[in-house]
Structure 1
Amino acid sequence: MEDSLSLKLAALADPTRRAIVARLARGEASVSELQKPFGISQPAISKHLKVLERAGLIEQGRVGQSRPRRLRVDALRATGAWFDQVADLWRDSFDRLDALLMETENDDVEHR
């Protein structure tokens, strides 16, 4: 079984699914509303929605007979938190590299 983060990242790797997430960030929408801008078939949009639902990024609501989709903001925040954590690690690594390079440069200047 894949971990939650892997499912989310794989789902967001596709530009159509990212566009669906961006659209749902503005509010819930029906399948036909989500399908319209892409010019793809109903089965194709349904496959994209299933991937996003399986990843936990969107959920299906219920309004009468309608089943609008909506963004699960908490799931998106958790994914964003992972990116923030990785960015912090890279920033720390670059800061240490900068310090090492400065130290090496200072040593070179002293030995000239």
Structure 2
Amino acid sequence: MQNFYTFAEDVAARAQALADPTRLVILRMIRHFGMTNTEIASYLGISRPTVSVHAKILRGAGLIETSEVGRAVQHTIKPAALRQLFTDLQRFLDLPEG
């Protein structure tokens, strides 16, 4: 039972990173446009530190990687990690195929 609950906690923690609409938009922007924190902040009309906080949550969930490009901070989405989250959620809920 403990492993089942531990697995549930892990899936919930990673899924929680996606539970904010701003983070979902940021993920899409990272995936399609490769924008820096400054560009994301400008586009969304939020502060750069706020983008950094959202990125930290996504990075903590293992869904993005972050690197510095000169003075800019750039993120890369981790498609395999997102797919694994969806697979784990499907497995945890024991959803039928189709």
Q: Does the pair score TM above 0.5?
A: yes
Larger RCO, structure (CA 8 Å, separation 6 or more): 2
Q: TM-score under structure 2 normalisation?
A: 0.74
Q: How many residue pairs get matched?
A: 92
Q: Secondary structure at the match of 1:67?
A: strand
Equivalent residues in 2 for 1:4-83, closer than 5 Å:
4-83=10-89
Where structure 2 has 5 or more consecutive residues not aligned to the other structure, the ranges are 1-5
How far residue 65 of structure 1 moved from its aligned partner, in angstroms, is 4.0
**The structure with more strand, counted as a fraction of residues:** 2
* Identity percentage of aligned residues: 32
The RMSD of aligned alpha carbons is 2.7
How far residue 81 of structure 1 moved from its aligned partner, in angstroms, is 1.8
**The structure with more helix, counted as a fraction of residues:** 1
Decide which structure has the larger Cα Rg and report it: 1
Where structure 1 has 5 or more consecutive residues not aligned to the other structure, the ranges are 93-112
Q: TM-score under structure 1 normalisation?
A: 0.66
